[in-house]
């Protein structure tokens, strides 16, 4: 695959897209209706800045896991510096799009609380295949915030410019977080399919010899098997069950170890090895933390 095109500055992005140079070098908001995307645009890109897009598009799709979704109903995409974004074109003609794209360099947030807080929003850690699909009512709310940012960014720069734009960005992120939680609830069928696949994967992992060959399942391994990002999977599982991915893995380990301790004559070290632990101490520590008993104390309670 061709190496991603690396946008090192917001001005560079404007230049490639044949847009007027931004008034502020560290922040820009683009009205997508005036920024036509053509077939010659790079399809794999990397930004050195944050990007938030609210867009509706024809002739254009992104992948969500193994499924393709279009943008006709409106979508939000989030990208943090250094992430690779990939797109797929489904029509040969010039792509039509509407909406907004906000570009924010990390230096613009310097010396503000958002400089650290923005790293805590998990949707910046989601890949493009976990886009936020929004309703018409939600779109109206977000559109107003984007318009406020656009109005302020086009005004004469003064001592209040940064503070006002940052406050609007915080509002935008707060709404986005609310709407992501709504998506976890409303996409019940897809989300429960992911949960079922997750449970099936863990059950299979601990019923054959995978732990002996490959050790304990990791969060990254499970997320990759389910075609979602680790952060998205943990947020999804937490919204459905109250537990994140690692906690689910631990619960599965404890359940399987209780089964082996109560129904077999295997030693604690043999059970630890069979479950994928390299050291018995790690197994015993996890078991004790989760049950308030050592493995031997648990076994002795059956006799």
Using pLDDT thresholds of 50, 70 and 90, give the confidence band for residue 67: very low
pTM flag (> 0.75): no
Q: CATH 2.60.120 in the chain, residues?
A: 5-186
- Considering Cα of 209, then 213, then 217, then 220, what sign does the dihedral take? negative
Could you give the percent of the chain with pLDDT greater than 90? 39
**Given a cut of 70, is residue 63 above it in pLDDT?**
no
Rounded to the nearest 10°, the torsion over CA 182, 184, 70, 78 is 80
Whole-Å CA distances, 126 to 64, 107, 227: 11, 22, 12
Residues of the chain with CATH 1.10.10.60: 189-300
Residue-level pLDDT at 71:
45
Express each pLDDT in 257-291 by its tens digit: 998 998 888 999 999 999 999 899 999 999 999 99
- pLDDT above 50 for 236: yes
Between 302 and 299, residue with greater pLDDT: 299
pLDDT category at 37 given cuts 50, 70, 90 is low
For domain 189-300, give its CATH number from 1.10.10.60, 1.10.760.10, 3.30.230.70, 3.40.50.620: 1.10.10.60
Please provide the average confidence, as pLDDT, over all residues in the chain. Answer: 83
Residue pLDDT, tens place only, 94-118: 455 678 999 999 999 988 999 999 9
Note the pLDDT tens digit of each residue in 126-154: 765 567 888 889 999 999 999 999 999 88
CA distance 48 to 201: 36
Pick the residue with more confidence: 216 or 70?
216
pLDDT given at position 65: 38
CATH architecture of 5-186: Sandwich (2.60)
């Amino acid at each position: 695959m061709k190496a991603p095109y690396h946008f090192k500055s917001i001005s560079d992005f404007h230049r490639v897209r044949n847009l007027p140079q931004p008034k502020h070098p560290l922040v820009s908001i683009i009205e997508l209706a005036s920024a036509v995307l053509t077939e010659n645009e790079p399809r794999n890109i990397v930004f050195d800045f944050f990007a938030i897009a609210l867009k509706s598009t024809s002739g254009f799709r992104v992948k969500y896991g193994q499924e393709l979704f279009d943008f006709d109903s409106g979508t939000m995409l989030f990208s943090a510096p250094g992430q690779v974004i990939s797109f797929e074109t489904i029509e040969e003609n010039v792509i039509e799009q509407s909406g907004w794209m906000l570009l924010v360099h990390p230096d613009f947030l310097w010396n503000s609380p958002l400089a650290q807080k923005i790293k805590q929003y998990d949707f910046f850690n989601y890949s493009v295949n976990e886009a936020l699909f929004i309703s018409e009512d939600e779109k109206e709310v977000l559109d107003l915030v984007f318009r406020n940012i656009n109005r302020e960014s086009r005004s004469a720069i003064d001592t209040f410019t940064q503070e006002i734009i940052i406050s609007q960005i915080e509002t935008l992120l707060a709404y986005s977080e609310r709407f992501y939680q709504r998506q976890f609830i409303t996409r019940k069928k897809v989300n429960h399919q992911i949960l079922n696949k997750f449970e099936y994967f863990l059950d299979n992992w601990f019923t054959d010899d995978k732990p002996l060959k490959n050790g304990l399942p990791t969060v990254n391994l499970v997320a990759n098997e389910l075609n979602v990002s680790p952060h998205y999977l943990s947020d999804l599982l937490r919204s459905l069950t109250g537990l994140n991915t690692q906690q689910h893995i631990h619960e599965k380990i404890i359940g399987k170890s209780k089964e082996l301790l109560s129904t077999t004559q295997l030693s604690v070290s043999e059970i630890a090895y069979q479950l994928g632990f390299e050291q018995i101490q790690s197994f015993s520590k996890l078991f004790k933390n989760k049950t308030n008993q050592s493995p031997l104390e648990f076994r002795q309670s059956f006799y």
